[in-house]
Amino acid sequence: MPLYRLADDLPELRDAVLVASFDGWVDAAEAASRAVAQVAGDAAAVVASFDPDAVFDYRSRRPVLDVVDGRLSDLVWPELLLRHAWLGGRDVLLLTGAEPDLRWRALATEVRELLARLGVVQWISLGAVPATVPHTRPVPVMATASRDGLLGPEDVRRPGGLLRVPSAALSALELEVTAAGMPAVGFFAQVPPYVGGGYAAASLALLEHLARHLAITLDLDDLSDLAARERTRYDQAAAADPETQEMIARLEAMAGEEELRLPSGDELAREIQRFLRDRTDEEEPPG
């Protein structure tokens, strides 16, 4: 049995590109998943839905239960969807939802076959990673590409050396489609270590890179306004806390030093491993 179910009424696609982002790992501050939600809006039609029982471990990603007046009312299950949007005159498919827990290899194979069936011509990953950067600087965005020539001169910022980190399901799927010959690029925003919840500045940076790469125009005014308001709140919080001021000053100094070089793979790996350890500690129940 396939892991997905196609919609009855499929759109007619022409040179469609796929933009993929999952919440969870490689989605620091939910910046990437919120970026995709921004462009999808409510108008994106579902093209395919994936069987949640086959790809999720409900003990690690539990469905949300609504209890109304003492009565169990509703369960909201995690979803993994492929949707279609018309962005800037282009057919764009959006593969989004909760990061799968199970059957990554089988899922990657079926996604590859599905994208070939739909005539998708390029894969684009969007992600966000923790990094030693302050909120007072423009959001750095690292780029990856499956081969030379896929990125423009503005998107050549790449991590140097070997970067060995725990993989995301997103990367497993991307490797599968590139092995089949589909070109792929990725854009990964760097998020300050003290940011929690959403970080609109990183979402905005990702969408600016996406729009430039696809040569389309996106309406990002609302997201830009939100990023400005968040910046003001972070500035005010830092002004009231000397320890936060000191940390931001250190990050500012490091950012100034790194304007002439990219962080190495080892540096990025250490920061991501630290982030993973912190998440594990936070999620561990008290003894």
pLDDT single digits (tens) 100-123 = 999 999 999 999 999 999 999 999
- 26 has a pLDDT exceeding 80: yes
Per-residue pLDDT band for 157 (boundaries 50, 70, 90) equals: low
Q: What is the pTM of this model?
A: 0.85
What CATH fold (topology level) applies to the domain 4-283?
Rossmann fold (3.40.50)
**Sign of torsion, CA 224 227 231 237?**
positive
Is there a contact between 125 and 177 (Cβ–Cβ < 8 Å)? no
- 234 has a pLDDT exceeding 90: no
Per-residue pLDDT band for 243 (boundaries 50, 70, 90) equals: confident
How many Cβ atoms from other residues are within 10 Å of residue 198's Cβ? 16
Q: What is the DSSP string of 18-74?
A: EEEEEESTTBGGGHHHHHHHHHHTTTPEEEEEE-HHHH--TTTSPPEEEEETTEEEE
Q: What number is the average pLDDT over the span 6-20?
A: 93
Q: What number is the average pLDDT over the span 144-158?
A: 80
Per-residue pLDDT band for 266 (boundaries 50, 70, 90) equals: low
- 265 has a pLDDT exceeding 50: no
For 250, the token pair is 């250190």
Give the pLDDT confidence of 37-82 residue by residue, as tens digits.
Answer: 988 887 789 999 999 999 999 998 999 999 999 999 999 999 999 9
Give the pLDDT confidence of 92-106 residue by residue, as tens digits.
Answer: 999 999 999 999 999
17-23 and 122-130 as β-strands: parallel, antiparallel, unpaired? Answer: parallel
- 262 has a pLDDT exceeding 80: no
